[in-house]
Amino acid sequence: MIDKEQMDALYIEAQKIAMSAYAPYSNFRVGAALLCEDGTVVKGVNVENRSYGMTVCAERNAVAAAITMGKRRFLALAISTPDSAEPVGPCGACRQVISEFTAPDMPIRFAGSGKKQVNTTIGELLPLDSLHDLNKN
């Protein structure tokens, strides 16, 4: 398990990388920082498209980057949405993709520009995940 200091540091990485988001259509930037089992932090941002449906969320881009780098086991995820005051959690599609590579108790923190932070787990965000036992990782 990671401690509060590690999660704080991971969240700062998410805040920093959110500035790289490509979000000219929604003006809603998202940064995701994934802590891998070997200590590497892999980041992702949302990448929008003028054909709106082609948009890919920050969380899925972070997972895809990590898998590309050969990392398959994740210890924690932090998500920053600086364009909302309130925390905005991962969308349903991202919850499913995150859960492919994590234990249900993997911690997730998300926060907007305000003071409120949500500290939860992928199991709480994707409950009754009955396909979890099919995981191959």
Binding site for ligand THU (CB under 6 A): 23, 26, 28, 30, 46, 48, 55, 57-59, 90-91, 94
Report the residue number, 109 or 134, with the smaller CB distance to ligand THU.
Answer: 109
Give residue 123's identity as a one-letter amino acid code.
G
CB 26 to ligand THU: min, Å: 4
Name the minimum Å distance from CB 135 to ligand THU: 21
| Distance in angstroms (rounded) separating the CA atoms of residues 26 and 6 | 31
Among 106, 107, 96, 98, smallest CA distance to 131 is for 96
Q: Which is nearer to ligand THU, 69 or 91 (CB)?
A: 91
Q: Which is nearer to ligand THU, 57 or 75 (CB)?
A: 57
Number of Cβ atoms within 10 Å of the Cβ of 92: 10
Q: Which residues are catalytic?
A: 59
CA gap 62, 137 in Å, rounded = 17
d(CA 15, CA 65): 18
What is the closest distance, in whole angstroms, from the C-beta atom of residue 3 to ligand THU in the complex? Answer: 25
